[in-house]
Amino acid sequence: MNHSSDIESPFPLTSGREKGYRPDQVDAFLDRARAAYEEGGAPELTAEDVRSLAFKMQRKGYSPRHVDAALDRLEDVFFERERRAVVREQGEDEWWREARALLSDVRGRIGRPRGKRFRRRGVFALGYRRSQVDAFLDRIGKMFANREISVTPGEVREVVFHPEWRGYDEAQVDALLDALVDIILSTR
């Protein structure tokens, strides 16, 4: 007789009071990702879909660290697939034109004065701590000035900003971080 506990899980499970990702949600997503990748046609799943994914938490769930590492690799695979599709359909020049336009947008935002790079939240609303976001973007700006990318997509994905009243608008900052990941992946 086969019990569900006899089936080997693809990720380590959390123990004790530590919460992890719900295994049923992770497994369902991985099945969907596998099917989307194996179809070979127009993807129904994109790198952005993978990046913006969120799972509910539970005790004895999958280890977030291990799942997140797998999702980072999966995002890279889907991004490369999307890049190849654009190059095949529109040519390499179009791919680089789009990458340069994105880089220009990001540089424009980074070039703004500290404390004014993003819209600030309202008086009674929390946002990302401006000093932390600005320090991270200063680091990125220095890398761009030296014409080298020494930050990995994982570092950008994992950056954490603490909340503060009237901080930067999270959606704007997150959109810039997504664009930065795209730029890094584009230049590999």
pLDDT tens digits, one per residue of 46-58: 888 888 888 999 9
How far apart are the C-alpha atoms of 11 and 9, rounded to whole Å? 5
pTM of the model: 0.67
Q: Give the per-residue pLDDT at 5.
A: 46
Angstrom CA distances, 117 to 50, 159, 171, 173, stand at 27, 17, 13, 9
Q: Are 39 and 11 in contact (CB under 8 A)?
A: no
pLDDT tens digits, one per residue of 114-164: 999 999 998 889 999 999 999 999 988 888 877 665 788 888 888 999 999
Every domain of the chain and the residues it spans = 4-88, 114-186
pLDDT tens digits, one per residue of 77-92: 888 888 888 888 888 8
Please list the helix, strand and coil fractions of the chain in percent, rounded to the nearest 5, in that order. Answer: 60, 10, 35
